[in-house]
């Protein structure tokens, strides 16, 4: 199936509910996509954001490990002092009984716990080791809150080594804070080796690091905004020659052939401007050439047609005389007289068509619309061509009269359009009926001429309104047949701001619809009749 449309394409009525959504999304894209400067600024800002994020990530990692290793060294040094203080105190103790040793241990650890607090220690613990004496047993010095942070790993290793440390997470309300646990074996008099741990908090370092990250993050926001703004302004300024080129190209496309770009300097932009100007120059000279050639051609057609009119009238009169007396002529001459009559009529029609087309070309076609009843107009054309239809054995069926089908038209032109469509339909219908329908909408009135004859190939449908186009020139016709009929129809309909559509399929017939606006000069926005089969 194929169809084509001539004249102003009418906007389809009714909008899809999703269209609103799509329109706003399209507008947003148009806003972003419409400005190259904005796109580049947004892209640069995004790239910069990623670079800054990566930088902040690496910088904080380096800082963290730096802060951590410095603090760890201090903690290890402090812990070593604490362990030796405990060991010395216990070594010098005179305690002998379990209770005495227990007291000495508790006092020493409590004192250490208090003195180490200044160095960031939060807890001191003393736990039994596998080698502790079972016979001389003292209580462990334990805070249950911290026992869980001392993992099995450090305790196992402590059996073989001293001064071991481990990173741990310390509970701080709902949060956790980083910490370090340092352990050593302490020899308790009579009780044997015990595991001593000092737990240090890294809260201070963590909050320093958090402040640094915050400064980085907050500080990068104005940097990013500034970078976005600066890149936008830079790119906007850089692209100003491209904008000028786009403006000049638009003005050229709108018909201002003399529009040119100002070229200064020798950079790439200047080369672009010079190339554009060369192109515009050659376009202008070509179009001027074509224009004058086309005007020459049009005036040639018009002049020749006018010049031919006078001799044509003489030939026509002579032909009338010969044709009227044909019965008195010998048979061969009679046949020639009849042929002459048909060809003279055809020639006269062609001359009239050519004159009409040249009037359109010269834009001198007059348009004085007057309100006319389209149904009556169509009825008149149908009855005027009843003889031709009878002669071709075609039954022309005119549909019912719709309500309110008066439209301001140039009646002579619209009659000519309907006559042309009807005569074509009868000619190509191969004896099948031809259906003529008139329908009225709110803002337009339409006429459809539908036949069920030979139909049209897709290429014919596309070219049917072209001047001198005839799908099958060899085809014998009972009327004129110059290939100008539909071209003139299209001009006639376009003059009314109307739309003419064609549809056809080989063997299934053809259909032509003319849609005219109810208000002279307004565009067609509604199509009361659809051209293609299935919707007919
Ligand atoms: P013509 O004077 O040849 O009829 P038109 O401009 O009226 O010139 O038509 C151009 C061509 O369009 C015709 O030669 C024919 O091939 C094709 N055509 C027009 N109407 C029909 C139709 N109803 N069915 C099939 N072909 C058609």
Domain that holds residue 188: 57-210
Decide: 181 and 166 in contact? Cβ < 8 Å: yes
Examine the domain organization and report whether 360 and 378 are in the same domain. Answer: no
Domain assignment of residue 342, yes or no: yes
Q: Which residue has the higher pLDDT, 151 or 342?
A: 342
* C-alpha of residue 444 to centroid of ligand 1, in Å: 26
Domain assignment of residue 341, yes or no: yes
CATH number at residue 268: 1.10.287.130
Of the candidates 518, 464, 453, 519, the one whose C-alpha atom is nearest the C-alpha of residue 488 is: 464
Q: Write the pLDDT tens digit of every residue in 463-494.
A: 999 988 888 766 655 555 678 899 999 999 99
Examine the domain organization and report whether 312 and 404 are in the same domain. Answer: no
Examine the domain organization and report whether 88 and 193 are in the same domain. Answer: yes
Count the domains in the chain: 3
Examine the domain organization and report whether 69 and 166 are in the same domain. Answer: yes
Of the candidates 388, 306, 309, the one whose C-alpha atom is nearest the C-alpha of residue 348 is: 309
Answer yes or no: is pLDDT of 497 > 90: yes
* C-alpha of residue 144 to centroid of ligand 1, in Å: 104
Domain assignment of residue 23, yes or no: no
- Per-residue pLDDT band for 64 (boundaries 50, 70, 90) equals confident
Q: Is 446 in the pocket of ligand 1 (CB under 6 A)?
A: no
What kind and span of H or E run contains 370? strand 370-373
Q: Which of residues 181, 210, 239 is at a domain's end? A: 210
Decide: 411 and 372 in contact? Cβ < 8 Å: yes
| Least reliable range by pLDDT among 30-34, 272-276, 324-328 | 30-34
SS3 366: coil
| Least reliable range by pLDDT among 107-111, 123-127, 152-156, 434-438 | 152-156
* C-alpha of residue 428 to centroid of ligand 1, in Å: 8
Tokens encoding 72 = 């760890």
Domain assignment of residue 20, yes or no: no
Q: Which residue has the higher pLDDT, 163 or 472?
A: 472
- Among protein residues, the one with the nearest Cα to ligand 1's atom 23 is 425
- Among protein residues, the one with the nearest Cα to ligand 1's atom 20 is 424
CATH number at residue 494: 3.30.565.10
Q: What average pLDDT does the segment 157-168 reach?
A: 72
| Least reliable range by pLDDT among 152-156, 198-202, 392-396, 433-437 | 152-156
Tokens encoding 301 = 């057609």
Examine the domain organization and report whether 315 and 399 are in the same domain. Answer: no
Task: Please tell me the predicted confidence (pLDDT) of residue 324.
Answer: 93
Answer yes or no: is pLDDT of 535 > 50: no
Listed in sequence order, the residues at least 6 apart from 496 whose beta carbon sits closer than 8 Å to its beta carbon are 367, 369, 409, 410, 413, 414, 516, 517, 520
Angle between helices 331-361 and 268-324 (to 10 degrees): 150
Of the candidates 445, 474, 467, 301, the one whose C-alpha atom is nearest the C-alpha of residue 373 is: 445
Decide: 67 and 60 in contact? Cβ < 8 Å: no
Please tell me the pTM assigned to this model. 0.53
Question: Residue 188 pairs with which residues in a beta bridge?
Answer: 192
Q: Write the pLDDT tens digit of every residue in 79-98.
A: 999 999 999 999 998 888 88
Closest atom of ligand 1 to CA, residue 425: 23
* C-alpha of residue 362 to centroid of ligand 1, in Å: 25
Answer yes or no: is pLDDT of 1 > 80: no
Closest atom of ligand 1 to CA, residue 480: 2
Q: Is 126 in the pocket of ligand 1 (CB under 6 A)?
A: no
Of the candidates 471, 476, 482, 525, the one whose C-alpha atom is nearest the C-alpha of residue 355 is: 482
Listed in sequence order, the residues at least 6 apart from 194 whose beta carbon sits closer than 8 Å to its beta carbon are 126, 127, 128, 129, 132, 138, 140, 185, 186, 187, 188
Alpha-carbon distances, residue 327 vs 176, 319, 321, 333, 337 (angstroms): 124, 14, 12, 10, 10
Q: Is 419 in the pocket of ligand 1 (CB under 6 A)?
A: no
Angle at 218 (CA atoms; ends 214, 221), nearest 5 degrees:
150
Examine the domain organization and report whether 409 and 484 are in the same domain. Answer: yes
Domain assignment of residue 535, yes or no: no
Examine the domain organization and report whether 333 and 395 are in the same domain. Answer: no
Half-sphere exposure in the Cβ direction for 161 (13 Å, CA)? 10
Task: Please tell me the predicted confidence (pLDDT) of residue 92.
Answer: 92
CATH number at residue 132: 3.30.450.20
* Average per-residue pLDDT for the chain: 85
Examine the domain organization and report whether 195 and 64 are in the same domain. Answer: yes
The burial of 174, by beta-carbon neighbours within 10 Å (0-12 exposed, 13-18 middle, 19 or more buried), is given as exposed
Q: Write the pLDDT tens digit of every residue in 24-44.
A: 666 655 555 567 778 888 888
Pairwise CA distance, residues 233 & 230, whole Å:
5
Domain assignment of residue 49, yes or no: no
Backbone angles phi, psi at 12, to 5 degrees: -75, 145
Answer yes or no: is pLDDT of 18 > 60: no
Pairwise CA distance, residues 201 & 181, whole Å:
9
* C-alpha of residue 484 to centroid of ligand 1, in Å: 9
Task: Please tell me the predicted confidence (pLDDT) of residue 29.
Answer: 58
Angle at 137 (CA atoms; ends 133, 143), nearest 5 degrees:
115
Q: Is 425 in the pocket of ligand 1 (CB under 6 A)?
A: yes
Share of the chain above pLDDT 90, in %: 41
Of the candidates 203, 199, 202, the one whose C-alpha atom is nearest the C-alpha of residue 183 is: 199
Residue to mutate (ligand 1; options 2, 479, 483, 513; most atoms within 8 A of CB)? 483
**Maximum distance among all alpha carbons in the chain?**
167
Answer yes or no: is pLDDT of 6 > 50: no
Examine the domain organization and report whether 469 and 489 are in the same domain. Answer: yes
Decide: 460 and 479 in contact? Cβ < 8 Å: no
Q: Which of residues 311, 343, 365 is at a domain's end? A: 365
- Per-residue pLDDT band for 15 (boundaries 50, 70, 90) equals very low
Residue to mutate (ligand 1; options 347, 352, 464, 466; most atoms within 8 A of CB)? 464
Decide: 192 and 131 in contact? Cβ < 8 Å: yes
Domain assignment of residue 504, yes or no: yes
Decide: 479 and 387 in contact? Cβ < 8 Å: no
Task: Please tell me the predicted confidence (pLDDT) of residue 10.
Answer: 36
Pairwise CA distance, residues 35 & 373, whole Å:
53
Half-sphere exposure in the Cβ direction for 155 (13 Å, CA)? 15
Decide: 323 and 341 in contact? Cβ < 8 Å: yes
Pairwise CA distance, residues 151 & 470, whole Å:
98
For 319-361, the DSSP string reads: HHHHHHTGGGS-HHHHHHHHHHHHHHHHHHHHHHHHHHHHHHH
Q: Is 420 in the pocket of ligand 1 (CB under 6 A)?
A: yes
Half-sphere exposure in the Cβ direction for 9 (13 Å, CA)? 5
- Per-residue pLDDT band for 2 (boundaries 50, 70, 90) equals very low
Q: Which of residues 147, 180, 210 is at a domain's end? A: 210
Q: Write the pLDDT tens digit of every residue in 396-445.
A: 999 999 999 999 999 999 999 999 999 999 999 999 999 999 999 999 99
Examine the domain organization and report whether 316 and 379 are in the same domain. Answer: no
Domain assignment of residue 239, yes or no: no
Decide: 436 and 378 in contact? Cβ < 8 Å: yes
Q: Is 394 in the pocket of ligand 1 (CB under 6 A)?
A: no
* C-alpha of residue 239 to centroid of ligand 1, in Å: 53
- In 189-266 the beta strands, taken as DSSP E runs, fall at 192-201
* C-alpha of residue 291 to centroid of ligand 1, in Å: 29
Examine the domain organization and report whether 200 and 300 are in the same domain. Answer: no
Task: Please tell me the predicted confidence (pLDDT) of residue 518.
Answer: 94
* C-alpha of residue 204 to centroid of ligand 1, in Å: 94
Examine the domain organization and report whether 65 and 206 are in the same domain. Answer: yes
**Dihedral in degrees, nearest 10, Cα atoms 35, 40, 41, 45:** 140
* C-alpha of residue 470 to centroid of ligand 1, in Å: 6
Tokens encoding 42 = 């947004």
CB burial string 429-446: b at 16+ within 10 A, e below: bbebebbbbbbbbebbbb
């Amino acid at each position: 199936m194929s169809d084509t449309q001539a004249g102003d394409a009418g906007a389809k009525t009714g909008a899809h509910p999703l269209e609103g959504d799509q329109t706003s999304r399209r507008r947003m894209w148009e806003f972003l996509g419409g400005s190259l400067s904005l796109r580049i600024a947004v892209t640069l800002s995004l790239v910069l954001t990623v670079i800054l994020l990566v930088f902040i990530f690496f910088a904080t990692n380096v800082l963290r490990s730096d802060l951590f290793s410095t603090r760890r060294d201090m903690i290890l040094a402090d812990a070593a002092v604490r362990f030796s203080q405990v060991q010395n105190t216990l070594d010098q103790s005179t305690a002998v009984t379990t209770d005495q040793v227990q007291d000495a241990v508790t006092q020493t650890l409590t004192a250490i716990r208090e003195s180490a607090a200044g160095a960031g220690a939060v807890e001191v613990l003393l736990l039994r080791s596998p080698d502790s004496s079972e016979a001389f047993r003292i209580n462990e010095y334990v805070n249950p809150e911290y026992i869980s942070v001392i993992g099995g790993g450090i305790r196992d290793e402590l059996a073989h080594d001293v001064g071991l440390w481990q990173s741990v997470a310390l509970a701080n309300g709902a949060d956790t804070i980083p910490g370090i646990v340092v352990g050593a074996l302490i020899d308790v008099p009579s009780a044997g080796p015990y595991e001593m741990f000092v737990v240090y908090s890294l809260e201070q370092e963590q909050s320093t690091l958090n402040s640094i990250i915050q400064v980085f993050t907050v500080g990068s926001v104005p940097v990013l905004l500034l970078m976005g703004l600066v890149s936008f302004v830079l790119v906007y300024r850089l692209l100003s020659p491209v904008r000028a080129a786009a403006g000049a190209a638009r003005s050229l496309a709108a018909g201002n052939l003399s529009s040119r770009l100002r070229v200064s300097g020798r950079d790439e932009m200047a080369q672009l401007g010079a190339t554009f100007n060369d192109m515009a120059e050659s376009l202008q000279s070509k179009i001027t050439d074509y224009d004058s050639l086309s005007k020459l051609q049009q005036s040639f057609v018009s002049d020749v047609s006018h010049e031919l009119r006078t001799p044509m009238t003489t030939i026509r009169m002579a032909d009338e005389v010969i044709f009227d007396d044909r019965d008195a002529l010998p048979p061969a001459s009679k046949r020639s007289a009849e042929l002459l009559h048909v060809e003279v009529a055809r020639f006269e029609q062609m001359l009239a068509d050519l004159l009409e087309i040249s009037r359109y070309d010269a834009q001198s076609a007059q348009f004085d619309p007057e309100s006319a009843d389209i149904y009556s107009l169509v009825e008149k054309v149908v009855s005027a061509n009843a003889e031709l239809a009878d002669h071709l054995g075609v039954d022309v069926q005119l549909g019912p009269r719709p309500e309110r089908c008066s439209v301001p038209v140039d009646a002579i032109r619209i009659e000519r359009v309907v006559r042309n469509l009807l005569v074509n339909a009868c000619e190509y219908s191969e004896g099948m009926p031809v259906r003529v329908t008139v329908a009225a909408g709110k803002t337009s009135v339409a006429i459809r001429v539908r036949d069920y004859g030979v139909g049209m190939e897709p290429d014919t449908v596309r070219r049917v309104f072209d001047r001198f186009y005839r799908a099958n020139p060899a085809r014998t016709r009972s009327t004129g047949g110059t290939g100008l009929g539909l071209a003139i129809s299209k001009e006639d309909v376009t003059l009314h701001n109307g739309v003419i559509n064609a549809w056809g399929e080989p063997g299934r017939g053809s259909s032509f619809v003319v849609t005219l606006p109810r208000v002279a000069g307004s565009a067609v926005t509604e199509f009361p009749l659809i051209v293609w089969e299935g919707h007919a």
